[in-house]
C-alpha cells in the first residue's frame, strides 16, 4: 500500500494553514535613549571638540609660520639676486615723493624693486596678519599692479637702503654689510605708532613696510649721521620695549617669535630679546641690524 494511502493528508478549509507549522512573528521592541544616556553622549562630543579645537588652531598657526618662513626665504633670495645685479648695492626702501613719482600714492617701494626676481606676489603678504591689521591698511598696493597688495614684512632700511636722505643711501655688500649671516634684511613688522601711544602699531598704514633697529636712528652707521624721526629717537635708548612710540618694530604674532631673512639668504624665527641684543648683555644694541654684527657699532 502506498504511504500516501496509509497516512492520508487531512483536508483543510481553503486558506487555512497547518497549526503545527505556524511560527509567531518576532516582536520588535524599540528602546529610546534615556535622558541620562543622551546627556552622556553630548558630554563626550563636547569633550572631544574641546580637545580637538586647540589642536586644530595650533596646527593652523604652525602652518602659517611655515609659510611665513618660506616667504622670507623667497624674499631673501630675491634681494640677493637684486644685489648681485646692482653692483652689490641693496635697494632703497622707497622711491622719493619728489621727482618722477611725485604725487603718486602707489610709488615703488622695496617689494617692487625685487619683485622681478621672484614673480610671486603671495610671498610679499604675511600670512600671520590679523584681521585688525588687514583692516588698518597693512597692505600696500604694488606699483606695477595696484589691485594686488603686499604687507606685514619690513625692510631694514636704516642700514641697507634709506631714500630719505640725499644722496640716497645704498648699503654695499662687503663694505657696509660684512657679516651677512648676522644682518637682518627683512622681517615680520608691526608698523609704527608715529609718536602716539593711544593708537595701535601700524594704524593708518604707518611704517608697515619697514623695520627699525632698537636704538636711535641717529646712532646708526649712516654717512651724514642725521635722524629721520622727530627728536632723533626711534625708541628710548634701552628703554621699555612696550613704549615703541616711533619705532617700526618686529611683530610677535599669534604668540610666535618674529621671523627674519638675513643677508646670507637664510631665514629663521628669532626672539625679540635676542634680535635686539646681539651680545646678550641684557641691553639693546644694533648688532643684528648694522651689517657688522657688532653690538658696539651704531
Is residue 264 situated within a structural domain?
yes
Residue 197 is predicted with a pLDDT of 80
Asked, as a colleague might, if the bond just before 167 is cis with ω within 30 of 0, I would say yes
CA atoms within 13 A on the CB side of 140: 28
Confidence (pLDDT) at 230: 43
Q: Residue 4: CB partners within 8 Å, gap ≥ 6?
A: none
Give the span between the Cα atoms of 236 and 26, in whole angstroms.
87
Domain that holds residue 56: 36-275
| DSSP symbols for 3-59 | HHHHSPPPP--TTPPPGGG--PPPPP---PPPHHHHHHHHHHHHHHHHHHHHHHHHH
Q: Which three cell numbers stand for residue 61?
A: 598657526
Looking at the whole model, is its pTM more than 0.85? Answer: no
Domain annotation covers residue 285: no
User: Which residues does residue 159 pair with via DSSP β-bridges, in sequence order?
Assistant: none
Asked whether residue 7 is assigned to any structural domain, the reply reads no
Domain annotation covers residue 80 = yes
State the Cα–Cα distance between residues 298 and 177, nearest whole angstrom.
13
The percentage of residues in the chain with a pLDDT greater than 70, rounded to a whole number, is 74
Q: Are 160 and 286 in contact (CB under 8 A)?
A: no
Q: In this predicted structure, what is the pLDDT of residue 31?
A: 63
Please report whether residue 238 resides in a domain.
Answer: yes
Highest-pLDDT range among 2-16, 43-57, 86-100, 257-271:
257-271
In a domain, 134, yes or no: yes
pLDDT tens figures, 148-206:
989 999 999 989 998 877 788 899 999 999 999 999 999 999 998 877 788 888 888 88
d(CA 178, CA 156): 15
Q: How many separate domains does the chain show?
A: 1
Question: Is residue 77 situated within a structural domain?
Answer: yes
Residue pair 93/185 in contact by the 8 Å Cβ criterion: no
Residue 8 within any structural domain of the chain:
no
User: Of 189, 212, 225, which Cα lies nearest the Cα of 289?
Assistant: 212
Amino acid at each position: 500500500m502506498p504511504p500516501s494511502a496509509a497516512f492520508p493528508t487531512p483536508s483543510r478549509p481553503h486558506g487555512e494553514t497547518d497549526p503545527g507549522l505556524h511560527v509567531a512573528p518576532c516582536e520588535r521592541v524599540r528602546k529610546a535613549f534615556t535622558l541620562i544616556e543622551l546627556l552622556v553622549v553630548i558630554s563626550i562630543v563636547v569633550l572631544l571638540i574641546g580637545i580637538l579645537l586647540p589642536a586644530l588652531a595650533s596646527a593652523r598657526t604652525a602652518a602659517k609660520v611655515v609659510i611665513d618662513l618660506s616667504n622670507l626665504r623667497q624674499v631673501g633670495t630675491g634681494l640677493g639676486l637684486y644685489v648681485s645685479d646692482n653692483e652689490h648695492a641693496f635697494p632703497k626702501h622707497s622711491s622719493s615723493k619728489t621727482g618722477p613719482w611725485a604725487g603718486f600714492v602707489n610709488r615703488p617701494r622695496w617689494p617692487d624693486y625685487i619683485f622681478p626676481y621672484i614673480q610671486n606676489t603671495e610671498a610679499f603678504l604675511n600670512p600671520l596678519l590679523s584681521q585688525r591689521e588687514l583692516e588698518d591698511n597693512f597692505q600696500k598696493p604694488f606699483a606695477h599692479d595696484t589691485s594686488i597688495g603686499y604687507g606685514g614684512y619690513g625692510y631694514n632700511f636704516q642700514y641697507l637702503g634709506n631714500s630719505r636722505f640725499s644722496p640716497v643711501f645704498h648699503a654695499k655688500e662687503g663694505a657696509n654689510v660684512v657679516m651677512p649671516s648676522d644682518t637682518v634684511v627683512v622681517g615680520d613688522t608691526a608698523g609704527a605708532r608715529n609718536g602716539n601711544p593711544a593708537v595701535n602699531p601700524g594704524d593708518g598704514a604707518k611704517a608697515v613696510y619697514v623695520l627699525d633697529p632698537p636704538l636711535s636712528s641717529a646712532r646708526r652707521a649712516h654717512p651724514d649721521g642725521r635722524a629721520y624721526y622727530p627728536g632723533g629717537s626711534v625708541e628710548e635708548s634701552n628703554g621699555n620695549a612696550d613704549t615703541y612710540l616711533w619705532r617700526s618694530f618686529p611683530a610677535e604674532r599669534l604668540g610666535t617669535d618674529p621671523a627674519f631673512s638675513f643677508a646670507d639668504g637664510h631665514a629663521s624665527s628669532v626672539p625679540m630679546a635676542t634680535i635686539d641684543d646681539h651680545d646678550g648683555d641684557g641691553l639693546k644694541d644694533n648688532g643684528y641690524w648694522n651689517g657688522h654684527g657688532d653690538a658696539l657699532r651704531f
